[in-house]
Amino acid sequence: MKQFSHSKLQTYERCPLQYKLQYLTKIKTESETTIEAFMGSQVHNVLELLYGDLLKSKLNSLDELLAAYDKNWQTEWNDEIVINDEKFKAEHYFETGRKCIQNYYEKYAPFDQDQTLGVEKKINLKWGEIEIIGYVDRLAREKDGVYAVHDYKTGSMMEQAYADKDRQLALYSIAIKQKFKEAKRVKLIWHYVNFGEDVISERTDQQLEELKADMLKLIGEINRAEKEDNFPARETKCEWCGFWEHCPKKKHLFKVAKLPKNKYLNDSGVKLSNKYIELVGKKSEINKEARTQAELIDEEMEKIEEAILKYAEKHDFEALQGSEARVIINKKIGYDFPTKSSDEKNYAVLEDILKDSKYWKDISTINSSKLEQLLMDDAIEVKIRKKIVALAPLKESVRFSIKKK
């Protein structure tokens, strides 16, 4: 059985190479704990304690929970925890965590709104040979038989539109419907404990079916990538990725970033890159100047053309003799076809007319960039795909581009 988790799937979507390094090659990286993450996990631990004890019929007072929070914070704190925002000190986060617990407690005490079925509950969703696993902060059944997945958040609030599209909890919703046959409805609840507010969403069976189809398609893509060992690096959210040392897009930067300035400027890669960027800059300056000049010339030519036309019409000339050459006036009657950019509506009408006619095959052309996209997305039937690839095999081309810091 092949196991996935929501974050594993998300990693692949973000950057296939990061997925490979993290889950297949399993390279260990040094990860730092931010104070936000530390505070979040301390609050989670206390809410886990609250509901864990409630399952054993013990209702902790707010003071008891805050005392547990204070104690855990002191015990688990270490100086490696990173505070990125210089405006705040550790105490600020410590107090925020306390406020989160207090907000939640005061909003829900005595916690009899529903029946807790599990805290930090493992959820596994099975589709044939595929298993998706995850953990829900709290799973509950409400009085009307509706199941609810509770997720605690100590960060900033999510908009409703995002909640209605969230995939992680929606996947848990499928798992719960699969496991508990009586679960006809599953509510997804995010508790923004710092604000004392909740965001609630729910998915229809139809939406869950669509999500399942999307996930299976994504897993199919991952399996194919594994078979072909094809995990391109895609630069998305690289600032959170710990694999710079192993990533072809970042390893040079990783290597030179720590060098002192004189060594940095002497690195061959830095030198080549600087030279190339300098040349591109020069070329673009020249092009810019040339473009400006060409525009000025175009304007002047337009005026002269108008004058030539007037003069030639007046004298019934079709050619004007210059000192070394002639200007020929070619008049031609042609059709003014609508184009996709200038007149999309009429363009579509024209296309329909021609598609229905026997002339289509003579005048339609292959749009190679669209065709390439269809092949890349695997959106072409296997039989046809094979035939196309036989005519147009994959070929590597090299193109340089410059990205500003």
Residues at the interface with ligand SF4 (CB under 6 A): 15, 17-18, 233-235, 238, 241, 243-244, 247, 249-250
Output 9 or 119, the one with its CB closest to ligand SF4.
9
CB 33 within 8 A of CB 82: yes
Output the smallest distance, CB 29 to ligand SF4, in A.
10
Give the max Cα distance, the chain. 107
Output 235 or 278, the one with its CB closest to ligand SF4.
235
Output 186 or 247, the one with its CB closest to ligand SF4.
247
CB 147 within 8 A of CB 186: yes
- What is the secondary structure of 95-112 as a DSSP string? HHHHHHHHHHHHHHTT--
Which structure tokens are listed for 372? 């390439």
Please tell me the distance from the alpha carbon of residue 151 to that of residue 189, in angstroms, as a whole number: 6
Output the smallest distance, CB 19 to ligand SF4, in A.
9
CB 225 within 8 A of CB 234: no
Output the smallest distance, CB 243 to ligand SF4, in A.
5
Output the smallest distance, CB 9 to ligand SF4, in A.
15
Please tell me the distance from the alpha carbon of residue 213 to that of residue 252, in angstroms, as a whole number: 39
Three-state DSSP class for 237?
Answer: coil
Output 188 or 247, the one with its CB closest to ligand SF4.
247
Output 15 or 35, the one with its CB closest to ligand SF4.
15
Output the smallest distance, CB 245 to ligand SF4, in A.
9
CA proximity to 82, closest of 119, 120, 122, 39: 39
CB 189 within 8 A of CB 148: yes
Output the smallest distance, CB 12 to ligand SF4, in A.
11
- H helices of 56-182, in order, are 62-76, 90-108, 160-163, 168-179
Please tell me the distance from the alpha carbon of residue 24 to that of residue 99, in angstroms, as a whole number: 41
Output 101 or 247, the one with its CB closest to ligand SF4.
247
Output 121 or 249, the one with its CB closest to ligand SF4.
249
Which structure tokens are listed for 85? 């925002």
CA proximity to 49, closest of 67, 35, 36, 31: 67
Output 175 or 247, the one with its CB closest to ligand SF4.
247
Half-sphere exposure in the Cβ direction for 218 (13 Å, CA): 19
Write the single-letter amino acid at 277: I
Output the smallest distance, CB 256 to ligand SF4, in A.
15
Output the smallest distance, CB 246 to ligand SF4, in A.
7
* CA dist 170 → 185, 188, 189, 211, 298 (Å): 12, 7, 11, 8, 59
Output 165 or 251, the one with its CB closest to ligand SF4.
251
Residue 159 has what DSSP assignment?
Answer: P
Output 129 or 239, the one with its CB closest to ligand SF4.
239
Output 92 or 255, the one with its CB closest to ligand SF4.
255
199 forms beta bridges with: 190
What value does the CA radius of gyration of the chain take, rounded to a whole number of Å? 32
Output the smallest distance, CB 179 to ligand SF4, in A.
34
118 forms beta bridges with: 139
Output the smallest distance, CB 7 to ligand SF4, in A.
14
**Which uninterrupted H or E stretch holds 123?**
strand 114-127
Which structure tokens are listed for 264? 């940095």
Output the smallest distance, CB 160 to ligand SF4, in A.
29
